[in-house]
Structure 1
Amino acid sequence: MSSAAEQEAVAGERATGDGRPVVAVNGARAAVPPPATVPVRPGPPAPLGARFRAGPDGVAGTDFALWAGGAEGVEVCLFDEGGGGEVRARLTELTDGVWHGFVPGVLPGRRYGYRVHGRWDPWTGARWNPAKLLLDPYARAVDGDYATHGLSPEVYGHVRDWPEQHVADTVRDDRDSAPYVPKAVVVHDPDDGTGTGTTAAAAADRRPRTPWADTVLYELHVKGFTRRHPGVPEELRGTYAGLAHPAAIEHLVKLGVTAVELLPVHQFAHEDHLLRHGLRNHWGYNSIGYFAPHAGYAASGTAGQQVGEFRRMVRALHAAGIEVVLDVVYNHTAESNELGPTLSLKGVDNRGHYRLQADARRYADYTGCGNTLDLVQPHVLRLITDSLRYWVTEMGVDGFRFDLAAALARSAHEVDMNSPFLSVIAQDPVLRGVKLIAEPWDVGPGGYRVGSFPPLWSEWNDRYRDAVRDFWRPAAADLREIGYRLSGSSDLYDWGGRRPYASVNHVTAHDGFTLRDLVSYDRKHNEANGEGNRDGTDDNRSWNCGTEGETDDPDVLALRRRQLRNLLTTLLLSTGVPMLVAGDEMGRTQRGNNNAYCQDNETGWVDWELLAEPGWKALFDLTSRLIALRRRHPVLRRRTFFSGRAHGADGLRDLAWFTARGTEMTEEDWYAPAATLGMYLSGRDIPDHDERGEPVRDDSFLAVLHAGDAPVDVLLPGPPWARRYEVVLDTGREDQSAAPATVHPADTTLTVPGRTVLLLRVR
């Protein structure tokens, strides 16, 4: 140890079980007098977290319960409104690894945290450090934030600036972290926070409950969606209340989406390297509180008011017929690896929450974020499922999209579709009834599992994304892939009773180019992220239409708008569940940034001024018209896979594929390079029934997709497929305010312009 380090090490040394020395750096903390203590009465070990109640003698207070199975002691630390004036209450009851007790006089709004005592032995994965104030894993509200110019060194359990880097994480830091970390808040709001007495059960009865096959998802960011919205009051922009505002909901209703998929709203922390560069985590995939609505999105306050505000937002969306799906990040936390901060679970029981390597000082990282939660551990599985049920039963949400879901499905090390997590979800009476969406991969070995998740689950289908992008560039080798993706991806999902809605079809997502950037950039432009343009994927499958970035060239702009119409039309005519990204329907751009996770600014916010521009307003109108068309016609949102078999004596099938020559596709046609494909969807015998039990019948459609640059002559198939065709959509037209409504006899030839989709209804 260097002489400078020796001068700082005032706490001395102690030995681990096998004799290795551990150095603790105490700093100035030794001069701080011990805090006052308050009495603790017996309290129940469940539920976990902090629950306000009146005791048996009428004395009001709060039950505290924390699972910390390997700890030697737990203290509840109570703070005043300013975050100071710490007093402590030592929990002395221990039941099955849960430390618990009732603290009289602790009322709603009181800030608190935990200090957990135990061994400091990083070589065996033990990282207890009572100098670090820990956020309650079950906190239902959080007040405050981490430092705004970089995480303070006090929030790390080890000494960050230890001169010997190879052992830096083994040197304990005994400086108090309480002044530098947010606090949990005791919450008591049995209804929705409005005082109306509305219970969660009653609110659940008013949920839209849109069937999967009828669902149109709309991925949005709570802050980014309304931060620049001119119809939302300034003080509400970027908040839950802002999303609940009629002006925000009006856009969703006009567009016609049935569900919003919210980027993470769990309490999250900003990464240290971002703070030091003057940036912040915008997307929120860095969770630290799985029960708490992120305080930064609250307009009404952060002393528990955010809970009621979130509920009111959900209720407002439900009243408009819109479901709420949360993007949840249960695969890792904001504590990163052994060099990361000690914020919550790492200090509660590191070995009991995270997957560790054989060298227990190191973390098993299947997420690319430094750590991976260990859902094989019963108490970790309980934490996650308790959180999920809480958001459904008490906060009113309708489903979840699971970030890096393959990491949650790992048993020992392999991804296991019979893992504890998936098995618990399958039998849970609450969770099996909500929408479940997997991001079906992680970054570990064998982690790419598209098409592998069991029934009940839908999946983000990145093969759909890639196939559609390749077709319209055009860069597809042949037509096989696009054929599967247009018709529901039966090659991936037609097993085990799964349905076409197992495929969540998307061309864009928060991660990657926006739709406008997809047709405007060949390369990523992430310089603003501060990583030398090294971050973000290079596999964009994009095409800039001849010019990189923004341009005034009218021909390039016209081509880009046509490509946007083609992509949106393809998405909304495909079998499966379509997902749009907020702003794509009106040409939002991130100026080529395909990894805008740290752009909490105009780059990451929706620009509502675009709707005032005729070209982008026309794109919105087309998107709305396509969604309405999909809603009216069940043949465009089938609940079962196509059979390809004939129905009736005339040989008409539910799905048929045609070449530009008007002939049915042969195997040779599927393997040949081509840029034109006809898809015939029969509405004669849809395997569904109406409310009277009668078979559903619908119109039949022929979609012609032509990705080539030059026009192509297309022969319209004759009987039994059709006698006449009516054009209901033509992406080659700039004016999309109404359908073309032109009628053509069968067995005639249409000249289809380059890069165009025609949708024709059989008359």
Structure 2
Amino acid sequence: MSHAMPDRLLPGSPYPLGASWDGLGVNFAVFSANAQKIELCLFDPTGRKEIRRFTLPECTDEIWHGYLPNAHPGTAYGFRAHGPYQPQHGHRFNPHKLLLDPYARKLVGQFRWSDALFGYRVHSNRADLSIDRRDSAPAMPKCVVIDEAFDWSHDKRPNVPWGETVVYEAHVRGVSMLRPDLRQHERGTFAALASPEFIEHLLKLGVTAVELLPVHAFLNDRFLVERGLRNYWGYNTAAFFAPEPSYLSSHRLDEMRIAVRQLHAAGIEVILDVVYNHTCEGNEMGPTVSWRGLDNASYYRLIPGDERHHINDTGCGNTVNLPHPRVLQMVMDSLRYWSTKFNIDGFRFDLGVTLGREQHGFDPGSGFFDALRQDPILSQRKLISEPWDIGPGGYQLGNHPPGFAEWNDRFRDTVRRFWRGDAGLRPDLAARLTGSADLFNRRFRKPWASVNFVTSHDGFTLADTTAYEHKHNEANREDNNDGHNENCSRNWGVEGPTDDPVLLETRKRVARSLIATLLMALGTPMVLAGDESLRTQNGNNNAYCQDNELSWLDWERAESPDGRQMTTFVARVIALRKQHPLLRETRFLFGDREVLPGLFDVGWFDEHGDPLTIEAWQDPEGRAFTLRRAGPGLNNETEVLLMMLNAADETRRFTPPAPHLEWHVLLDTAEPESAPHRLAVPEVEVAAHSLVMLAAQPIGEADWQAGWKAGAHHGPRLLTALPPDPGAHPPSSDTSPTT
């Protein structure tokens, strides 16, 4: 039965914000503290034709609201806001511009770049002080009312403990665009994430969580479109509650929910990379598509005394005003929405320092952090911060509050520099291998707070880290000026591709040593999608705009001999991590816990098996050492692990430290296909640029004492000097605002 559309809206309710269908109609509510009138515009289902316009009849506590009887899911809409156009005072109201609902759950249509998207006349001599009176609706996507009902079929979140988590950083589009087994329309979508083949790949690797680059609806920057490029990474949010439409093969939100449900069924968590620090509207010269037109002075941080201009702590033109209670509410509502309506398991906060800024600067007790920590839903999700931005005091690694993990770029840089052969890295590497206690051992935080990585979406891939010493970003059409210059990489003799078999073998060996170091260190390891098959970006370290084969996972390469070997190797190291609790220790290591008489939880030795002295730690030419770990194994019996690392350019002979035990070689990055075997001789040949892992397990006190009698030493003693404090860390080389 059809119902005539009413002449006006009913008052409705100021809560909840957004468009809410109750079965009889739709309530619309939107925040603006400075608007004088807000209009609701209705469109046909395609979003192309405006069919009706209503004034929201009520404003309660700065929330404008109205109720439309008989409206239903599928209704397309947008807002227009009336108020002062006074950029010098921070106000940029322009009713000629159609605005997205900040709480929109779904978008239909696309942004079509034209000057009409701007609130001012683009070519005016008065710049943004002028006003543009063209209707922007034809160039705008529209919001869509949805029905939230979905059968989760007893979906259960895996709740993988932090200490057992292995993260796989992936791009929805990138992981499947070159998958030949998928139908064309499914490639690059959430449907591909739910495919049995992709899930089987994750299970084969042994990862426990997929961290997806931004899935919120985003805008392709005009300058990229004009260059024939796209905002591939998606760090340019247009709607905090709506999935990116191009990631939906069926245009149904349930597609994303099905992907989450299927991953959960396989025991794999889903973490979203979220961008709440800035929006797609850029600086004062950017377009007006939502927040700017609704209440620029409330939604954004403006320069005090010069409110025409935005504070730009993000490097992306604007900074979301989290200290404002309604803006903070929007972000918290968005996080809860994804947590409860999509069963998301965690969030990685892009430029997390920006979110923790108050008027005086970064504050670990900021309103944002406090709101998250007290929230009964969000506090139980995995919370990961990128601990920097480009504002004053923007490098805050280790300074986030309890409950947060942080991307540890110091781990990345130290491990890369060690394996490329830099001098004087042993003390710093020792700290990174044992959980970075110098950064995170405060306020009862645990080693899992350090998210360890050697590569991420931003920067070189693993293969490129061993093949390039300089960035090659010419494809970005910015004259190779974008991206960071220091990559802590080494090409081993030739920049880029080569046919030299010796050089190629060195590169593969170093890549294996990098990934093994990552997965054997204390902390939460993160692997970049494609590194398991040695994916290359041809030296591009800032592929944010490369939505093409340069960025997509090459599944054909993954099936090559090198790709298969590396995938098998990565899976093997992850399996070792799971098999040995010592590699997942939940406490920081200081060498002060005695496991057996004279055997401490951690010890450090040179190649000869002698304890590293303070002088040895301080020797800048030291590029090899042994790390010994001891503690309870799987059956609570004592196990001992040795990691022998040789970053030198020649093979070194290592002697396991006393006492004499029966050792088994578990892993050798120079011999990736070598099966575990008993060490038959008292020495271990560790090839150049490689790592060997040994185990003696299980052992009891009698075995331990017998080992001393069998060896050259006469009894247990304190075996090692602790590494010196690695000291202060300079700002990361990777603080790109696009990450």
TM-score by length of 1: 0.89
Matched, 1:88 2:34: no
> Match of 1:361, SS?
strand
Q: Do 2:352 and 2:389's aligned partners in 1 also have CA atoms closer than 8 Å?
A: yes
Instruction: Quote the offset at 1:235 in angstroms.
Output: 2.1
Question: Which of residues 130, 135, 147 is equivalent to 1:188?
Answer: 147
Question: Which of residues 391, 399, 404 is equivalent to 1:444?
Answer: 391
Q: Please name the residue that 1:408 is paired with.
A: 355
**Structure 1: distance between partners of 2:191 and 2:670:** 40
Q: Do 1:38 and 1:88's aligned partners in 2 also have CA atoms closer than 8 Å?
A: no
Q: Please name the residue that 1:680 is paired with.
A: 628
**Structure 1: distance between partners of 2:284 and 2:686:** 60
Instruction: Quote the offset at 1:542 in angstroms.
Output: 0.6
> Match of 2:361, SS?
coil
Question: Which of residues 276, 297, 311 is equivalent to 1:351?
Answer: 297
Q: Please name the residue that 2:116 is paired with.
A: 154
Instruction: Quote the offset at 1:646 in angstroms.
Output: 4.5
Q: How does 1:286-301 map to 2 (within 5 A)?
A: 286-301=236-251
Question: Which of residues 653, 669, 685 is equivalent to 1:731?
Answer: 669
Cα deviation 1:152-197 (Å, max 9, x = unaligned)? 10000011111x2xx3011010100000010111001322xxxxx4
Amino acid at match of 2:181: G
Q: Do 2:414 and 2:425's aligned partners in 1 also have CA atoms closer than 8 Å?
A: no
Q: Do 2:421 and 2:648's aligned partners in 1 also have CA atoms closer than 8 Å?
A: yes
Q: Do 1:478 and 1:671's aligned partners in 2 also have CA atoms closer than 8 Å?
A: no
Q: Please name the residue that 2:254 is paired with.
A: 308
**Structure 2: distance between partners of 1:523 and 1:477:** 23
Provide the aligned length of Structure 1 versus Structure 2. 690
Q: Please name the residue that 2:709 is paired with.
A: none
> Match of 1:445, SS?
coil
Q: Please name the residue that 1:716 is paired with.
A: 656
Question: Which of residues 36, 49, 56 is equivalent to 2:18?
Answer: 49
Matched, 1:642 2:589: yes
Q: Do 2:116 and 2:136's aligned partners in 1 also have CA atoms closer than 8 Å?
A: yes
Cα deviation 1:129-162 (Å, max 9, x = unaligned)? 0100001000001111112xxx210000011111
Q: How does 1:121-270 map to 2 (within 5 A)?
A: 121-147=86-112, 151-162=113-124, 164=125, 167-191=126-150, 197-198=151-152, 202-203=154-155, 206-270=156-220
Cα deviation 1:396-435 (Å, max 9, x = unaligned)? 1000000000000000041011111011111111111000
Matched, 1:482 2:414: no
Matched, 1:77 2:41: yes
Amino acid at match of 2:188: G
The 3 A distance-change label for structure 1 pair 116 and 455 is same
Question: Which of residues 198, 218, 224 is equivalent to 1:274?
Answer: 224
Question: Which of residues 326, 334, 354 is equivalent to 1:379?
Answer: 326
> Match of 1:464, SS?
helix
Q: Do 1:189 and 1:308's aligned partners in 2 also have CA atoms closer than 8 Å?
A: no
> Match of 1:630, SS?
helix
**Structure 2: distance between partners of 1:712 and 1:467:** 22
Amino acid at match of 2:669: T
**Structure 2: distance between partners of 1:751 and 1:315:** 47
Amino acid at match of 1:231: D
Q: Do 1:465 and 1:506's aligned partners in 2 also have CA atoms closer than 8 Å?
A: yes
Cα deviation 1:216-274 (Å, max 9, x = unaligned)? 00000000001111222222110000111111111111111000000000010011100
Question: Which of residues 644, 647, 651 is equivalent to 2:598?
Answer: 651
Q: Do 2:105 and 2:242's aligned partners in 1 also have CA atoms closer than 8 Å?
A: yes
Instruction: Quote the offset at 1:670 in angstroms.
Output: 1.2
Amino acid at match of 2:29: A
**Structure 2: distance between partners of 1:62 and 1:47:** 11
> Match of 1:724, SS?
coil
Instruction: Quote the offset at 1:649 in angstroms.
Output: 5.7
Instruction: Quote the offset at 1:38 in angstroms.
Output: 4.0
| Aligned-pair Cα RMSD in Å | 1.4
**Structure 2: distance between partners of 1:551 and 1:652:** 47
The 3 A distance-change label for structure 1 pair 649 and 760 is closer
**Structure 2: distance between partners of 1:446 and 1:282:** 29
Amino acid at match of 1:314: V
Q: Do 1:730 and 1:740's aligned partners in 2 also have CA atoms closer than 8 Å?
A: no
Q: Please name the residue that 1:33 is paired with.
A: none
Amino acid at match of 2:328: L
Question: Which of residues 49, 63, 87 is equivalent to 2:27?
Answer: 63
**Structure 2: distance between partners of 1:475 and 1:750:** 23
Q: How does 1:329-340 map to 2 (within 5 A)?
A: 329-340=275-286
Question: Which of residues 728, 744, 754 is equivalent to 2:688?
Answer: 754
Cα deviation 1:192-215 (Å, max 9, x = unaligned)? xxxxx448xx53xx1110000000
Q: Please name the residue that 2:712 is paired with.
A: none
Q: Do 1:270 and 1:280's aligned partners in 2 also have CA atoms closer than 8 Å?
A: yes
Q: Do 1:232 and 1:248's aligned partners in 2 also have CA atoms closer than 8 Å?
A: no
Q: Please name the residue that 1:21 is paired with.
A: none
Amino acid at match of 2:656: L
Amino acid at match of 1:285: Y
> Match of 1:598, SS?
coil
Amino acid at match of 1:677: F
Structure 2 residues not aligned, in runs of 5+: 698-739
Matched, 1:118 2:100: no
**Structure 2: distance between partners of 1:536 and 1:37:** 55
Amino acid at match of 1:348: L
Instruction: Quote the offset at 1:37 in angstroms.
Output: 8.6
Cα deviation 1:671-729 (Å, max 9, x = unaligned)? 11211010101034x7xxx9xxxx8345321000100011112121121xx51211111
> Match of 2:445, SS?
coil
Structure 1 residues not aligned, in runs of 5+: 1-35, 55-59, 192-196
Question: Which of residues 615, 620, 631 is equivalent to 2:562?
Answer: 615
Q: Do 1:89 and 1:103's aligned partners in 2 also have CA atoms closer than 8 Å?
A: no
Q: Please name the residue that 2:726 is paired with.
A: none
**Structure 2: distance between partners of 1:743 and 1:605:** 42
Q: Please name the residue that 2:707 is paired with.
A: none
* Sequence identity (%): 47
> Match of 2:270, SS?
strand
> Match of 2:631, SS?
coil
Matched, 1:743 2:679: yes
Q: Do 1:518 and 1:544's aligned partners in 2 also have CA atoms closer than 8 Å?
A: yes
Cα deviation 1:553-580 (Å, max 9, x = unaligned)? 1111111111111111111111101000
Instruction: Quote the offset at 1:52 in angstroms.
Output: 1.1
Instruction: Quote the offset at 1:106 in angstroms.
Output: 2.0
**Structure 2: distance between partners of 1:38 and 1:223:** 44
Q: Do 1:633 and 1:698's aligned partners in 2 also have CA atoms closer than 8 Å?
A: no
> Match of 2:693, SS?
strand
**Structure 1: distance between partners of 2:297 and 2:107:** 25
**Structure 1: distance between partners of 2:477 and 2:425:** 40
**Structure 1: distance between partners of 2:594 and 2:161:** 26
